[in-house]
Amino acid sequence: MRILQISFVLLWRAWFLIINIFLIPFWAGVSIPFLFKDKYYPIAYWFHQMWARSNLFLMGFWYVLEKDEEILDKNKQYVIISNHTSIMDIMLIYSLMRNHPLVFVGKAELAKLPFFGFVYKKSNILIDRKNLSSCIQVFKKIQDKVDSGKSVCIFPEGGVPKPSVFLDHFKNGAFFIAIIKKISIIPFTIADIKTKFPSFSIMKGGPGKIRIKQHHSISTKNLSLKDKNDLKKKCFNLIKHQLEKFEREKVNQSKF
């Protein structure tokens, strides 16, 4: 039985690679003409969303969204933050933020991937965390993107933490930008992906439901940089407590 289960997971993972051999060139390719001028970026963003939603559907994932009652302003930008466990987190954020074209702040290594790397680099902001000058330049690029009307998604853990880490310490970047530019933060808590599509093992996982909580936006209008650590702590605790709630719900459901 164990061998059959592992075989299924390996085939399922191979399916992910196969579909993206076709999806990435198609959706990324048709978006390229719209990446060179900011006014056309919403069109390119729609294609990025189609790539993300196609991946989720074809991999057998569906999400159940719980959200605090709030109507987001379509004309406002936001800093989106979330816990980070897998590449699927990116696809989920694309799918959820349909009315707010955004850019991701991601690892510079992604630019080395053939074809996808070009589109990712052109669409998003790449950071080499080992290079101080790169980090400084990134803050300037983020501010430029915000000034051009885009929202920004930053995973404050700074990458996918080790499987043993429940929620890694948050870095300062997202909160610095939100305060400097006076942009509200939208925290997301994503559950289940850590076990359904883990980054550190291709022999685990499987399709199924993903639970997501979209928290109420947090205003930075009256904050200064001296409030940065308090804001970071508030967001960390918000996501941590929701993850713990998701875990309790999962345990309780398994009892029945």
Those residues with Cβ within 8 angstroms of residue 72's Cβ, 6 or more apart along the chain or in another chain: 78, 99, 100, 186, 217
Check residue 30 and give its pLDDT. 85
Q: Decide which of 59 and 3 is more confident.
A: 59
Q: CA of 253: how far to CAs of 60, 61, 64, 250, in Å?
A: 21, 19, 16, 5
| pLDDT, average across residues 12-17 | 91
| pLDDT, average across residues 146-171 | 92
Element containing residue 147 per DSSP (H, E): helix 132-147
Q: CA of 180: how far to CAs of 96, 152, 164, 194, 218, in Å?
A: 25, 13, 34, 32, 14
pLDDT, mean over the chain: 89
Q: Decide which of 231 and 3 is more confident.
A: 231
Q: Is the pLDDT of residue 33 over 90?
A: no
Check residue 130 and give its pLDDT. 67
Q: Is the pLDDT of residue 115 over 80?
A: no
Q: CA of 68: how far to CAs of 24, 29, 219, in Å?
A: 33, 36, 15
Element containing residue 67 per DSSP (H, E): strand 61-67
Rounded distance, CA 235 to CA 232, Å? Answer: 5
CA atoms within 13 A on the CB side of 59: 32
| Counted domains in the chain | 1
Check residue 191 and give its pLDDT. 96
Q: Is the pLDDT of residue 235 over 80?
A: yes
Give the domain CATH number at 178: 3.40.1130
Which amino acid appears at position 95 of this protein? Answer: S
| pLDDT, average across residues 60-88 | 93
Q: Is the pLDDT of residue 131 over 70?
A: no
Beta carbons of 111 and 121 less than 8 angstroms apart: yes
Check residue 141 and give its pLDDT. 86
In which domain, by residue range, is 68 found? Answer: 2-254
